Amino acid sequence: MSVKKHVYMFSETDASMRNLVGGKGANLGQMTQLKLPIPQGFTLSTEACTFFYENDKKLSDEIILQVEEALVKLQTITGKEFGNPINPLLVSVRSGARVSMPGMMDTILNLGLNEVVVEGLAQTTKNPRFAYDSYRRFVQMYSDVVMGLSKSYFEEVIDEMKKEKGILLDTEFTTDDFKIMIKKFKSFYQEELGEKFPEDPKKQLFGAINAVFNSWQTPRANYYRKFNNIPNEWGTAVNVQSMVYGNMGNTSGTGVAFTRNPATGEKKIYGEYLINAQGEDVVSGVRTPAHIETLKEIMPKVYDEFIKATEILENHFKDMQDIEFTIENNKLYLLQTRNGKRTAQAALKIAVDLYNEKMITREEALMLVQPEQLESLLHPQFNPVLLKKAKPIGKGLPASPGAANGHIAFDVEEAVKLYKEGKKVVLVRMETSPEDIEGMHISEGFLTARGGMTSHAAVVARGMGKCCVSGCHELQINYKQRYFELDGKKFNEGDYISLDGSTGNIYGDKIDTVAASISGDFKTFMQWCDEVKTLGVRTNADTPVDAKQARDFGAQGIGLCRTEHMFFDSTRIKAMREMIVADNTAEREKALAKLLPMQRQDFEEIYEAMGNFPVTIRYLDPPLHEFLPSKAEDIKEIAAELGMTIKKLKSKIDSLHEFNPMMGHRGCRLAVSFPELAKMQTRAVMEAYCTVKKKNPKYSPVPEIMIPLIGDIKEFKYVKNIVKETADLVLEENKMDVNYKIGTMIEIPRAALLADEIAKEADFFSFGTNDLTQMTYGFSRDDAGAFLNAYYEKKIYESDPFARLDQRGVGVLVEMATKLGKEANSKLHVGVCGEHGGDPSSIEFFFKTGLDYVSCSPFRVPIARLAAAQAVIQANKK
Amino acid sequence: MSVKKHVYMFSETDASMRNLVGGKGANLGQMTQLKLPIPQGFTLSTEACTFFYENDKKLSDEIILQVEEALVKLQTITGKEFGNPINPLLVSVRSGARVSMPGMMDTILNLGLNEVVVEGLAQTTKNPRFAYDSYRRFVQMYSDVVMGLSKSYFEEVIDEMKKEKGILLDTEFTTDDFKIMIKKFKSFYQEELGEKFPEDPKKQLFGAINAVFNSWQTPRANYYRKFNNIPNEWGTAVNVQSMVYGNMGNTSGTGVAFTRNPATGEKKIYGEYLINAQGEDVVSGVRTPAHIETLKEIMPKVYDEFIKATEILENHFKDMQDIEFTIENNKLYLLQTRNGKRTAQAALKIAVDLYNEKMITREEALMLVQPEQLESLLHPQFNPVLLKKAKPIGKGLPASPGAANGHIAFDVEEAVKLYKEGKKVVLVRMETSPEDIEGMHISEGFLTARGGMTSHAAVVARGMGKCCVSGCHELQINYKQRYFELDGKKFNEGDYISLDGSTGNIYGDKIDTVAASISGDFKTFMQWCDEVKTLGVRTNADTPVDAKQARDFGAQGIGLCRTEHMFFDSTRIKAMREMIVADNTAEREKALAKLLPMQRQDFEEIYEAMGNFPVTIRYLDPPLHEFLPSKAEDIKEIAAELGMTIKKLKSKIDSLHEFNPMMGHRGCRLAVSFPELAKMQTRAVMEAYCTVKKKNPKYSPVPEIMIPLIGDIKEFKYVKNIVKETADLVLEENKMDVNYKIGTMIEIPRAALLADEIAKEADFFSFGTNDLTQMTYGFSRDDAGAFLNAYYEKKIYESDPFARLDQRGVGVLVEMATKLGKEANSKLHVGVCGEHGGDPSSIEFFFKTGLDYVSCSPFRVPIARLAAAQAVIQANKK
């Protein structure tokens, strides 16, 4: 067997060897290939790590030999020598797995120093303080990181010495102080470990390498791997790199720079540096760094070299880079480069610019923006100047992004009153319910004391693109006396508050907002998305306003128009209630006749807003008791309004009471009990179509009638027959024809299990993944808040299954239903209209599962378009 | 191609030809083979029916020819001639598919009569009234059944003639009246159909045959077939059989007899007959029939021949027969035989007797009793003499069988008070809830105004083996003034009522009950079940009393012991409430420490009752708010009891409020939030084991700890770890060892989908099919009552999915989880503990799916044992 290569010089590695030499190693290799000035070094491969574990956690002689050979080469490259006090080679030792992973060993710096070398360094650099500070840091790091001694002892020693000397900062220590400190550290080391601190640089080196390999299997690292599905066998690499110092005097320095502006995306170097300093000094903020451009004047050659390097790196990595550099005695070294973090606006501009600069393809450009980032471009934000001065009075969950200010209203009536006075309103409630919809429409934002990220308030807010802070448990509302308490202060109805739905912060006064600016690149970028993506993106919209907004955002139709929201409107709820309290079919039909023209009007406006796009209309879904009052005073008022006795209304309400409304008399079950309801809705859907089409023949919307909560083919057929008869009758009456569709939501597990049967009768499926998730997990979104926190804390769940589709569980039903459905009916159109339709990772899953479209709230449409495009690009990569 | 045989004489058919000649045809064939005196005839095969439809709904010449040939043979056999007035052959024409099917053509009698033949018949029988009555009946039947004329016309004519003549009964018509009637019928026929009533007997015959074939595809028949999965292609046969008459004078007669006593099973002929009568006279009750034994004296030869025939039939069909016979002029004819309906007691005795008589095998004996029948043997019944005189005051759903009487109590306190006074109690409530458990335990039966067959009251009642009438909507309860109204009467608390849980009847006074007698055959029979069945049968039992009862009924362990029922007990609920209102873990542990000895005591008694059988203990399942009061007065009282302010208790109750408790903070979610709860329960389970084992080493129960509501493997592991640590600690403390098991319920769809993952960590699965059905269908059992009736009426659902497992939907999850689970863990033990565990058709499904056991309420254990045995026998047949 030939000897296996386990150790690679940086010059021997490249991007293709990432699995073998880890992310950091491959990166250093690439920079070496690019002939950039990096401190040279070598990498022990991930296979060496595996071998280490196979060899009883010992480095084999073979590996030791290879390391020593590499060390010799490194000495040749650097012209320095390990352990030589005149010209010492000092190195850092770092772990470097394929993917960045917390829980692994960090960094050891200044390795190679000992009693002799430190003194040599002091003399050659003429900087004894620097030399001894470096040495004490090394002793400290080695003791803690490699040998596992407690950090706190070292800190205690330092603190004690400061006290003795009456100083406050590390910088006030003298060389002699460091010498004393090193002695103390070393004697502690000996006491604890029963051996002297290693003076032999090679012993130090192999100790550090061992420590890195051992850190691959700490409990924390194992735990992290398990949760992130990282195989144990991958192992970690070890990088040994020669040290450079930016604190060697005024010809040295250190800094950080971005190749483009990370805030705006502007193509211009952006960064800062400090002369005679180490990396941590730039970060700590003790000294104020200078702008990178001033380096041009101080060290013009270094600056030019640096600028050239940034261009090479950007060209190589094809993305804006975030670069750390050090200047040691007028010589530039690049320590690290990575793709830089950036704002949404910058991300868009950089992506489009890089494409225009022909540096990347359109597909690569699309991968440079995180879909979620787009959200911040779509909502108003607080004026940053004002925000800086503001102090929050409390914090809830950041349930729906954007910023809002307005006058406090505790209920819909007050909200309407303030609104009519021309005032902006923030609705503050314990929790919201469908009865509050009207008040929510006219409010700028909502604040609730109860409920999580997927509570009613949060879901509605995201749907409407309004700001919402939910679940602020400290919020004490006194509805009776019309005030709330927070942060020890009292806020009355009508007082100003401001909400930040992106952070969850609540402010006790008015902070002005600014509309976010959307650059022209945004449009270009979104067009690229549409050219690449294959998945349709529709919107969930119940009103013409929402529909229009969504079209502006690029929606290709409505995937979910909830008809019940229309009934909560104060002008309509009376007729709705008459329908509900009706004692027989005739009375019910009378009330429905009043609702018909209103519902028809809604649909007309929505069709007009959607032009030639399909509009999926879901029939009445919530249980009827949601439309009836629950408070005594309301019951009294409404009984009078409906012309019935309080007793009778009460008994009607009682008879509609449900233990588990979520699993009650709702969805298609209403249409089965009261077919006249489905008839009225069908009439409204089809008459609206006829009216719009007659008025303006250029509009050709496709009505798609969606029956909710189906669990059985016979149930679907029963309702479908009613719908079909009525629809055909209306078309006949109007002498018109349209290829309307009748489909169903798949939101009951049983429907997914029997999807083949249902598909034979349905034109389309739309996954209602909200309800499907609730039923599959057996918990209600409204109630899960009480226990889900414990599940996150105890690492039982990693993410909210209502926000990100549970692909292993609920996803199995989605796959099953899609497969069964499409096999049984090749024309079946399949989409999703639950909240997950706007979540990028879920969208990728829906794409892979073979769905035809996703539907999400208007403000998530751009996100979905990008996620859908990225899904295609990802799939093509494989 | 050779000519296909489509028409068979009765003598040419036998049992093996059932598919070809239908059930009736095969039966007549067998009786012919047995040389029993049946009126001869022939059968047109089901293939002829298919051919009829293929031939454009016409009889082919070939078939017509074969019918004519058969007719000639029949004339030879009977010595009578079609259309011959002197010696006419008259026939009946009946449909006869493979399985009995409503919606098909019924019967035409007396076919072959016409103007000439009727007069001949009048003369030869010297009974003109008989002849003309027969003829008018034929005309009427033919017009209606064959030609589709409206029945009502004929009835109107008859009614008018009665009025004219001033008579009331058909029997008062004279021969001349019938002649007039026939004329009227025939002229109506001609008016309506534009042709004369057919005088040619052959034309009548082919008309009738055509009508039978056509009736195979009436909408009603199609509908029935679709619902019962009967293929269209099966077709129906037609039986043409010569007529015999029991009303030809005093040497004729007709009767019905059972080969054994259908009430007791006694081996002795049991039946009755009438001289000079037709079948319908026996049924109508106008004349009182004589006991079959008296025939011995009147017609000894006929009687002997009949007795011999009954023996032959019983021997042939290997079951007690229900036989119809006619005597025409001293000649015996058997018209029909079928397996006789019988009481449960008779069924058992007959099955055991037939085996002892070596007529049938043990397996055949087991198939002779319907599992459901056994239920009536296990509950007390009303004294039948008293019952006959009683008039119900109302009716609800027969929710749990048996009979009960007692004093009305409207709540638990009153029930306890009456019980302590030594009185029997019937609990009357709008609906029951877990808080009522204590009152339910001491009551004889429950009556509720709301709720269906699977409401809380019904489920608990069946579990306890108590009588329950639920969902009596007419029941108006006034809790405040302590009375209810029903049937316009007022019943006060303390008044007597009686309930029949088998019929749903409610009686306004006391009707004494009698314990049902169980004959010794019962034991023998149940032993056979156990010898044959492979599925284990356990019981759902929460108390030592239930456990003991179930063991008496043959349970092989406890499959579900619900620990929460123990906490509702009035002596314990205080500690439970202290635990719930606790502000922190320490307080909670303090309260739990009070519950520990009580819970331990429960388990000790249950282990003792179960001897060496396994006991599956399910950890606390319901949401905690179920243990807290909801009424203001109770809150006040309990706040005082717990030593906290009303406000604080109220706010605690509010914080525990759930929108959908069924999908809320319950099951294992409680243990995840409050691990100390699982610790206490584990300590109780294991300490009880140690105590019992030490006290009496002959007991070796196997504690099986069951974690409810699991939906994820990490969730299961989290709770399992807590349980395991505590259990091992207790065993160590006691220096004992036992192979206890930790498993989970599969009741959340997600658990079924991910069963392979869970199985790797679980010792057993127990399907909670109640919750699994709720989640899979997306409706709550408590609320479904509001809409399920519409589903039954509209034929969307055929059976209650909570009573009979939905094999197509929920069953898919059960199969999937069993398969995934057993593949992942070959030692996995799989059972079911939902209500379906006691339903015979579901049990057959569980057996086929490969489950190891079913668990059901004590009173269903014998039923489950028989159903499990029958499942094996059925499977072996295939």
pLDDT tens for A299-323 read 999 999 999 999 999 999 999 999 9
Cβ atoms A819, A848 nearer than 8 A? no
Fill in the amino acid letter for B564: E
pLDDT at A94: 92
Residue B730 scores a pLDDT above 90: yes
Fill in the amino acid letter for B670: L
Alpha helices (runs of H) in B18-60, residue ranges in sequence order: 18-33, 46-54
Angle at A40 between CA A35 and CA A43, to 5 degrees: 110
Burial class (CB in 10 A: 0-12, 13-18, 19+), B769: buried
Phi and psi at residue B718, in whole multiples of 5°? Answer: -60, -50
Q: Which of B777, B795, B798, B816 to mutate to test the interface with A (most CBs of A within 10 A)?
A: B777
Max CA pair span of chain A: 105
Name beta bridge partners: A355.
Answer: none
Provide the b/e sequence for B35-45 (b: ≥16 CB within 10 Å). Answer: ebbbbbbbbbb
Q: Chain-wide mean pLDDT for chain A?
A: 92
pLDDT at B515: 66
Q: Which residues of B touch A771 (CB under 8 A)?
A: 778
CA distance B810 to chain A (A): 7
Helix (H, G, I), strand (E, B) or coil at A104: coil
Token representation of residue B155: 């009835």
The model's confidence at residue B3, banded by pLDDT at 50, 70 and 90, is: confident
Q: Which of A672, A720, A773, A783 to mutate to test the interface with B (most CBs of B within 10 A)?
A: A783
DSSP state of A276: S
Q: Which of A748, A753, A778 sits opposite B748 (nearest CB)?
A: A778
Cβ contact (<8 Å) for A783 and B661? yes
Please name the residue of chain A whose CA is at the shortest distance from the CA of residue B624.
A786
pLDDT at B286: 59
Cα–Cα distance measured from residue B816 to residue B646, given in angstroms and rounded to the nearest whole number: 50
Phi and psi at residue B2, in whole multiples of 5°? Answer: -70, 155
Fill in the amino acid letter for B299: M
Mean pLDDT of the A229-249 span: 89
Phi and psi at residue A409, in whole multiples of 5°? Answer: -130, 135
Closest CA to B342 of B307, B388, B364, B373: B373
Question: Around Cβ A182, how many Cβ atoms within 10 Å?
Answer: 21
pLDDT over 70 percentage in chain B: 98
Closest CA to B208 of B30, B9, B71, B13: B71
CA distance B429 to chain A (A): 16
Provide the b/e sequence for A446-469 (b: ≥16 CB within 10 Å). Answer: bbbbbbbbbbbbbbbbbbbbbbbb
DSSP state of B248: S
Q: pTM for the complete prediction?
A: 0.82
Q: Where are the beta strands (DSSP E) in B106-158?
A: 107-111
Task: Encode pLDDT of A146-167 as tens digits.
Answer: 998 988 899 899 999 999 999 8
The model's confidence at residue B312, banded by pLDDT at 50, 70 and 90, is: very high
Cβ atoms B663, A664 nearer than 8 A? no
Cα–Cα distance measured from residue A509 to residue A495, given in angstroms and rounded to the nearest whole number: 8
Token representation of residue B512: 């004494």
Cα–Cα distance measured from residue B274 to residue B279, given in angstroms and rounded to the nearest whole number: 9
Which residue is listed with tokens 């199969």?
B815
Cβ contact (<8 Å) for B796 and A750? no
Q: Which of B717, B750, B781 to mutate to test the interface with A (most CBs of A within 10 A)?
A: B750
CA distance B555 to chain A (A): 31
The model's confidence at residue B592, banded by pLDDT at 50, 70 and 90, is: very high
Token representation of residue A502: 């992106």
How far apart, in Å, are the Cα atoms of A842 and each of A146, A807, A866?
A: 42, 8, 13
Residue B713 scores a pLDDT above 90: yes
Q: Chain-wide mean pLDDT for chain B?
A: 91
Please name the residue of chain B whose CA is at the shortest distance from the CA of residue A670.
B787
Q: Is the dihedral of CA A543, A544, A549, A554 positive or negative?
A: positive
Task: Encode pLDDT of B344-396 as tens digits.
Answer: 888 999 999 999 999 999 999 999 999 988 987 888 888 877 888 889 999 99
Cβ contact (<8 Å) for A718 and B782? no
Fill in the amino acid letter for B71: L
Cβ atoms B668, B721 nearer than 8 A? no
Residue B285 scores a pLDDT above 60: no
Task: Encode pLDDT of A804-841 as tens digits.
Answer: 999 999 999 999 999 999 999 999 999 999 999 999 99
Q: What is the dihedral of CA B243, B248, B253, B256, to 10 degrees?
A: 30
pLDDT at B572: 86
pLDDT at B21: 94
Cα–Cα distance measured from residue A333 to residue A40, given in angstroms and rounded to the nearest whole number: 10
Angle at B181 between CA B176 and CA B186, to 5 degrees: 130
Question: Around Cβ B384, how many Cβ atoms within 10 Å?
Answer: 8
Mean pLDDT of the B586-610 span: 94
Q: What is the dihedral of CA B718, B721, B727, B733, to 10 degrees?
A: -130
pLDDT over 90 percentage in chain A: 72
Q: Which residues of B touch A755 (CB under 8 A)?
A: none
Cβ atoms B535, B868 nearer than 8 A? yes
Question: Around Cβ B388, how many Cβ atoms within 10 Å?
Answer: 8
Token representation of residue A557: 């139709």
Cβ atoms B348, B365 nearer than 8 A? no
Q: Where are the beta strands (DSSP E) in A435-589?
A: 445-448, 467-470, 476-478, 483-486, 489-492, 496-500, 505-507, 513-514, 536-540, 558-562
Sequence length of chain B is 878
The model's confidence at residue A464, banded by pLDDT at 50, 70 and 90, is: confident
pLDDT at A456: 80
Q: Which residues of A touch B812 (CB under 8 A)?
A: 753
CA distance A829 to chain B (A): 23
Cβ contact (<8 Å) for A750 and B658? no
Phi and psi at residue B189, in whole multiples of 5°? Answer: -55, -45
Cα–Cα distance measured from residue A472 to residue A505, given in angstroms and rounded to the nearest whole number: 10
DSSP state of A513: E
Angle at A376 between CA A375 and CA A378, to 5 degrees: 70
Cα–Cα distance measured from residue A179 to residue B37, given in angstroms and rounded to the nearest whole number: 125
Cβ atoms B180, B164 nearer than 8 A? no
The model's confidence at residue B517, banded by pLDDT at 50, 70 and 90, is: low
Q: Torsion-angle region of residue B401: left (phi > 0), alpha (psi -120 to 50) or beta?
A: beta
Cα–Cα distance measured from residue B476 to residue B479, given in angstroms and rounded to the nearest whole number: 10
pLDDT at B71: 97
Please name the residue of chain A whose CA is at the shortest distance from the CA of residue B813.
A753
pLDDT at A709: 97
Cα–Cα distance measured from residue B825 to residue A405, given in angstroms and rounded to the nearest whole number: 58
Closest CA to B52 of B201, B217, B164: B217
pLDDT at B101: 74
| Lowest-confidence region among B269-278, B774-783, B834-843 | B269-278
Cα–Cα distance measured from residue A370 to residue A351, given in angstroms and rounded to the nearest whole number: 11
Residue B75 scores a pLDDT above 60: yes
pLDDT at A761: 96
Distance of CA B92 to the CA centre of its chain: 34
Distance of CA B89 to the CA centre of its chain: 44
Cα–Cα distance measured from residue B513 to residue B386, given in angstroms and rounded to the nearest whole number: 9
- Catalytic (active site) residue A456: yes
Mean pLDDT of the A370-387 span: 84
Which residue is listed with tokens 């079928």?
B338
- Catalytic (active site) residue B468: no
Q: Is the dihedral of CA B42, B44, B46, B47 positive or negative?
A: positive
Mean pLDDT of the B41-65 span: 94
Cα–Cα distance measured from residue A674 to residue A686, given in angstroms and rounded to the nearest whole number: 19
Cα–Cα distance measured from residue B331 to residue B392, given in angstroms and rounded to the nearest whole number: 48
The model's confidence at residue B172, banded by pLDDT at 50, 70 and 90, is: confident
Fill in the amino acid letter for A460: V
Helix (H, G, I), strand (E, B) or coil at A101: coil
Cβ atoms A325, A254 nearer than 8 A? yes
Q: Which residues of A touch B787 (CB under 8 A)?
A: 665, 669, 672-673
Mean pLDDT of the B736-753 span: 97
Cβ contact (<8 Å) for A660 and B780? yes
Measured distance between the N- and C-terminal CA atoms of chain B, rounded to whole angstroms: 35
pLDDT over 70 percentage in chain A: 98
Cβ atoms B606, B615 nearer than 8 A? yes
Residue B518 scores a pLDDT above 60: no
pLDDT at B102: 67
How far apart, in Å, are the Cα atoms of A610 and each of A530, A700, B108?
A: 18, 9, 65
Residue A336 scores a pLDDT above 90: no
**Which of the following is catalytic: A468, A833, A836, A856?**
A833
Count interface pairs A-B at CB distance under 8 A. 163
Question: Around Cβ B61, how many Cβ atoms within 10 Å?
Answer: 9
Counting DSSP H helices and E strands in chain B, the numbers are 35, 31
Token representation of residue A190: 């000996």
Please name the residue of chain B whose CA is at the shortest distance from the CA of residue A655.
B786
Burial class (CB in 10 A: 0-12, 13-18, 19+), B47: middle
Mean pLDDT of the A685-710 span: 95
Cβ contact (<8 Å) for A747 and B778? yes
Mean pLDDT of the A409-421 span: 92
Its ipTM equals 0.81
pLDDT at B866: 97
Helix (H, G, I), strand (E, B) or coil at A794: coil
| Lowest-confidence region among A46-55, A619-628, A783-792, B706-715 | A783-792
Residue B827 scores a pLDDT above 90: yes
